[in-house]
């Protein structure tokens, strides 16, 4: 079981995936408005507690700050 997410300043996409070999299946997915949560832990907890899965692996991409337009 994999928990994957794309955490951005505007929105966050999270999903649980099951995998068998090289085949991946989306089991649950959700999009959240990032500004509605004070901390990433709060956002992740809401998604995880809404589903009865336990992740063996976690992969998150997190946006960095924009400095001087880059």
Q: Residue 69 falls within a domain, yes or no?
A: no
DSSP 3-state of 35? helix
Task: Confirm whether 68 is domain-assigned.
Answer: no
Mean pLDDT score of the chain: 93
**Is residue 67 assigned to a domain?**
no
Whole domain around residue 45: which residue ranges?
2-62
- Where residue 9 falls among pLDDT bands split at 50, 70, 90? confident
This prediction has a pTM of: 0.84
- Percentage with pLDDT > 90 across the chain: 81
The pLDDT tens digits of the residues spanning 24-34 come to: 999 999 999 99
CB atoms within 10 A of CB 53: 15
CATH label of the domain that carries residue 38? 3.30.420.40
Within a domain: residue 70?
no
User: Nearest Cα to 6, choosing from 68, 58, 45?
Assistant: 58
Report CA-CA distances (Å) from 63 to 19, 29, 45, 56, 67: 26, 19, 19, 23, 12
- How many domains is the chain built from? 1
Give the pair of three-digit tokens for residue 33. 């408005």
């Amino acid at each position: 079981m994999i928990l994957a997410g794309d955490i951005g300043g505007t929105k966050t996409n999270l999903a649980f995936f099951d995998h068998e070999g090289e085949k991946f299946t989306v089991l649950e997915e959700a999009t959240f408005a990032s500004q509605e949560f004070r901390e990433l832990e709060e956002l992740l907890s809401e998604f995880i507690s809404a589903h009865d899965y336990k992740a063996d692996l976690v992969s998150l991409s997190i946006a960095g700050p924009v400095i001087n337009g880059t």
